[in-house]
Structures are given as structure tokens and as C-alpha cells.
Amino acid sequence: MESTIPASLQPCIDAYLHALVSWHARFVGIYLHGSIALGAFEEGESDIDVLALIQGEWSSEEMKQFAAVHAQLVQQQPLCKLMDVTYIPLQQQSPSAIFRDGTFTTPAHLDATMAWITKHQGIRLLGPEPATLPLTVTWDDVLEAMRFNLDVYWAGKARRAYLFWFDYWVMTSVATLCRILSAIEEGEIIAKSVALQRWRERFPQRWQLLLDEAWRIRHHPDQPSLYHNRIQRKRETLAFLAYARARGGEALQAASRMHREKT
């Protein structure tokens, strides 16, 4: 087992692999991605992100059986509720199933960021080394995923302004947009806390209080807010969303122009 796996998670991962013993023939490979693979797992904040590549499609009956396996696993190892496991047929890379927040549901989707981290930084639990996997993902695919996040996902969230009354959405939006800008401008996928620290030193002074607030929510939620009231904080968060989306969009356009000029 890889030494980069936090020791506190090892019993959960061992129990998961043991629960799959009779199913091993159905898997191409199982890999850790996300914060663990990035060397940035945070107790109490991070999920245990797993990508499981399966042979062919599962029947509805097999889905039920596997859901029962997960339910039993959570009872034996409560920490396994933190597992965010995506099950994808390798050949089709089509929607299959996901175990998240203690629930086994469909559909699941293999996005470019997940595939990139798995192939380049993933930790093998079962199967061949991740670098040898036939995952057809390029950095352009990752950038296209970032574009979707900016133009669709976060544009949609910005239209639901009430969300940013709540701590969770303030922290998640600020940290995630910092991650997106790191991918677009620096060509690197990093964890949320690393992104908050990095961009605090790079953004204009205006945004430092908001980044500090996001850090407080993530790491010191019992401490009082740095803002006088939630209305002010919500307005600043929405303004930051507009700023980060515009900055990311301009960087993507510049990258596209450079690519066209080279070709």
C-alpha cells in the first residue's frame, strides 16, 4: 500500500478492498484521486475520493448487491461514509454508479479532472499502475471542464444569490474558483486549501478579506466571521464570482488564441 495514504484512513481502505474480494474479477483497477493523491488530505474536510474502473456494465441486480456491500461497509467502518467512489466501465467510460455521502446512486460520470489526476497522480489500490491506464484525457479536456465550470456551473450558482448567505457556499465558491484559476493560468490541479493560500498572495488587495473568511470557515468555523454582517459578505462573494469568472474566461481566450497561432 502507498505510504502517501494517511494512516487514519488505512483501516477504511483496507476494509473496502476486503469487501470487494469476491468482485475483483469485475474490476480493471481501483485508484485514489482527489486530495489524497494531491498530498493535501484534511481530516474533517476532505473526502476519500476513489475511481473504480469496471469490466463492462453492471446489471440492476448487481447494482443492488453492490449497494448492500457499501451499506455493510459503512456499518463496519463509519469513516467509509466519507468515501466518494465513482464506478465507471473503462471501455465505454459511460455513466454508471457512484457511492457518495453514504448513498449508492446512478448515474456517475468520469470528468476530465478526475481522469487527469488519476492517470498522472493517482494512487493504485488494485490493478495496473495509473500511468498505464488507457484514459484518453488531455490537458485541453481539463481546460474545457474548467470552462464549463465557469460558464455553466458557477454562472448558475451566481444566479441563486441566496446560496451565498451560507458559510458552506462562501467557502466552496471561493476555494473552488481559486483552484480553477490555478488550472487555467498555471497548468496545475491543486487542493482547495493550497489554492486559498496561493491566491491570497496573488489577488488584488480587495479579495484578501474574503479569502481569509473562506479559510476561517474551512479551518476555524468556531471563530467569528471577519465580516460585519452576512449581507456584506454575500455581496463580496458574488462580486468575487464575477471577477474570477471574467479573469478565467479571459485567460482561456488567450490560451485559445495562442493555440490557433501555433497551429
Q: How close are the terminal C-alpha atoms of the chain, in Å?
A: 44
- Check residue 261 and give its pLDDT: 57
Q: Is 53 helix (H, G, I), strand (E, B) or coil?
A: strand
The pLDDT value given to residue 259? 53
Strand pairing category for 27-32 and 97-100:
unpaired
**Residues ≥6 apart with Cβ < 8 Å to 61:** none
3-state SS track over 62-120: HHHHHHHHHHHHHHHCHHHHHEEEEEEECCCCCCCEEEECCEEECCCCCCHHHHHHHHH
pLDDT tens digit sequence for 161-184: 999 999 999 999 999 999 999 999
Prediction pTM value: 0.87
Query: Which grid cell sits at 57?
Result: 456494465
Low-confidence ranges of the chain (pLDDT < 70): 1-3, 92-95, 98, 101-102, 104, 106-108, 258-263
Q: Which class in CATH covers the domain with range 7-132?
A: alpha beta
What per-residue confidence (pLDDT) applies to 193?
95
